[in-house]
């Protein structure tokens, strides 16, 4: 249990996950009013003393993204102006991360913009889970503790005792993540050759690797519309895969995403609770695992100035 000078405040983005983290740490959630004015402006007040405290502010930039991002920024500002000794922004899902480079003319780099906003608001460090790209850590001028949900997901699939398992990277950018899964699960590795003609649309061109007769597991960090997963499952089964499951850390599942997953040929999609799934998004094929112990242990170690990276050794 962290010291009495540890304070944890939560926005409205991930209330259940925040409660689980506080339960894990045996620390009561901080008393804060997070509401709105009549014109829908966000209104926040910390209702307890944080002077000289080690403050952790939990909020995902989950849908509604802009509102939850503003909640986080205003929470940080409130804690800074209340003389908190150190402010850690705990961001289970870091949104606006998919535009992380100037890959065409006249486009923004929103991942860097949001990093600047969080730093300018007064955060002293960041705690995030499975950033869309590892280099996003360099966008911050403050320390970043980057957690991986892999231990949670690998533990689940390891207990399934899947025979003839091949872990599949959904694209070349996901090879490092998929290789780490494959190593821990003692599985083979395959790669999908994917093209994106437009945002939220993908074409599976080739399957690199032998999946014939294999149980295949697609490993990704984000699932948005679900269309790519459905096409990936079809491509793998067409190459002789015996079955296809998938996992991801962040279940954005926008629009018809949940229906796409349910109607696909996937056996199941295993996700984490970095983004809460309301009743409209819950489906039989979607299983949710909690990263609360992972985040709780990281918060404990940050407070105690212990190693966070040793969680993944």
**Catalytic site residue 194?**
yes
What whole-number distance in Å separates Cα of residue 29 and Cα of residue 14?
A: 13
What whole-number distance in Å separates Cα of residue 54 and Cα of residue 86?
A: 5
3-state secondary structure of 97: coil
Residue from 289, 286, 276 nearest 62 by CA: 276
1 touches 301 (CB < 8 A) = no
Strands (E), the chain: 6-10, 32-36, 42-46, 54-58, 86-91, 125-129, 144-147, 165-169, 188-198, 201-208, 215-223, 243-251, 269-272, 286-289
Q: Is 5 exposed, middle or buried (0-12, 13-18, 19+ CB in 10 A)?
A: middle
3-state secondary structure of 34: strand
What whole-number distance in Å separates Cα of residue 115 and Cα of residue 159?
A: 37
Which one of the listed residues 7, 112, 194, 231 is annotated catalytic?
194
The residues carrying an active-site annotation are: 194
């Amino acid at each position: 249990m962290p010291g009495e000078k540890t304070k944890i405040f939560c926005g409205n983005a991930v209330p259940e996950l925040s409660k689980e983290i506080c339960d894990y740490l045996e620390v009561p959630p901080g008393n804060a009013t997070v509401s709105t004015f009549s014109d829908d402006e966000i209104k926040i007040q910390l209702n307890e003393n944080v002077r000289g405290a080690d403050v952790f502010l939990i909020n995902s930039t989950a849908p509604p993204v802009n509102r939850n991002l503003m909640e986080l920024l205003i929470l940080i500002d409130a804690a800074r102006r209340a003389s908190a000794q150190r402010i850690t922004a705990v961001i289970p899902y870091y949104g606006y991360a998919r535009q992380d480079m100037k890959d065409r003319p006249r486009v923004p780099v929103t991942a860097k913009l949001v990093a600047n906003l969080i730093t300018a608001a007064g955060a002293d460090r960041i705690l995030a889970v499975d950033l869309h790209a590892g280099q996003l850590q360099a966008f911050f001028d403050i320390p970043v503790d980057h957690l991986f949900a892999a231990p949670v997901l690998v533990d689940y699939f390891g207990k399934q005792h899947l025979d003839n398992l091949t872990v599949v990277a959904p694209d070349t950018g996901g090879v490092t993540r998929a290789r780490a899964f494959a190593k821990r699960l003692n599985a083979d590795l395959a790669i999908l050759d994917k093209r994106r003609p437009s945002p939220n649309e993908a074409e599976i061109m080739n399957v690199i690797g032998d999946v014939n007769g294999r149980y295949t597991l697609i490993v990704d960090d984000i699932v948005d519309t679900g269309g790519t997963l459905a096409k990936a499952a079809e491509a793998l089964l067409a190459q002789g895969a015996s079955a296809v499951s998938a996992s991801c850390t962040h279940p954005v599942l926008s629009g018809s995403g949940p229906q796409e997953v349910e109607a696909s040929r996937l056996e199941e999609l295993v996700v984490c609770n970095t983004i809460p799934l309301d009743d409209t998004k819950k489906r039989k094929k979607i299983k949710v695992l909690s990263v609360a112990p992972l985040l709780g242990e990281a918060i404990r170690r940050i407070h105690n100035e212990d190693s966070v990276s040793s969680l993944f050794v």
